[in-house]
Amino acid sequence: MFWAEQVYDFWRTFIGKPVVLVGNSIGSLVCTAVAARYPQMVKGLVLLNLPDSSVLETPAWMKRPLTTAAIVARPITSLALWVFTLPFVFSPLFRFIRSPQFIRLWAKQAYTNPAAMTEELYEILSHPAFDRGAVRALRSMVVAKKRAKEDYSARSILPKIEVPLLLLWGKQDKMVPPKLAPLFLKHNPNITLVEIADAGHCPHDERPEEVNRIVLEWLTQVEEKK
């Protein structure tokens, strides 16, 4: 994973000692990938609203039909991805995604508190999409994810992580269902789960005082156990 390599290079260049990584949403996936690939650099993880459905249990009677369906659908999905990522298809779609209307729609899904959805927030969310090369970067990320051969799913990675983990989850998350949160506990006994009331996909932004307090208290407990 390219982002994991970036984090590792930054750590190796400027830090060089074990750290606690904190990530929200996709950032939390990056944190778990870093911890699995470079355990020497991580002494703890704080994950917020981890977007990974691999922890869902599939009934035994459904596994064979789903496997067969996946094999049959693979050529179709590969063709669809190829068409989707063609520049003349992807570029207009990207312009729509970064439009003010779409950004506001996304914010309504990510945030549960209307007071948090300010003009400043919309500006922060939309600004990176107007950077030079943004469309090419997103297209490359989509293509690279499809080509990736390593398994970075939580089901695969979490059992390998031996450091303490704090999993925070907004109870009103509309993007990644809160019902997923307890399922991660089955894959690593070192996970502490704390659910945040009145918060959506970005609890650190909607409930910063509460989230900061929980993280600091957890860090203190981790240090005391050493």
pLDDT for 67 equals: 63
Question: For 44-77, how does the pLDDT look when each residue is reduced to its tens digit (9 = 90+)?
Answer: 999 999 999 888 766 555 556 656 666 766 777 7
**Over the range 151-164, which residues count as b (16 or more CB within 10 Å of their CB) and which as e?**
ebebbebbeebebb
* pTM for the whole structure: 0.84
pLDDT for 179 equals: 93
Question: For 5-17, how does the pLDDT look when each residue is reduced to its tens digit (9 = 90+)?
Answer: 999 999 999 999 9
**CA–CA gap between residue 1 and residue 223 (Å, rounded):** 30
**148 vs 87, more confident:** 87
Per the rule left: phi > 0, alpha: psi between -120 and 50, beta: everything else, 49 is left
Question: For 157-216, how does the pLDDT look when each residue is reduced to its tens digit (9 = 90+)?
Answer: 999 999 999 999 999 999 999 999 999 999 999 999 999 999 999 999 999 999 999 999
Q: Mean pLDDT, the chain, as a whole number? A: 88
Q: Is there a contact between 166 and 218 (Cβ–Cβ < 8 Å)?
A: yes
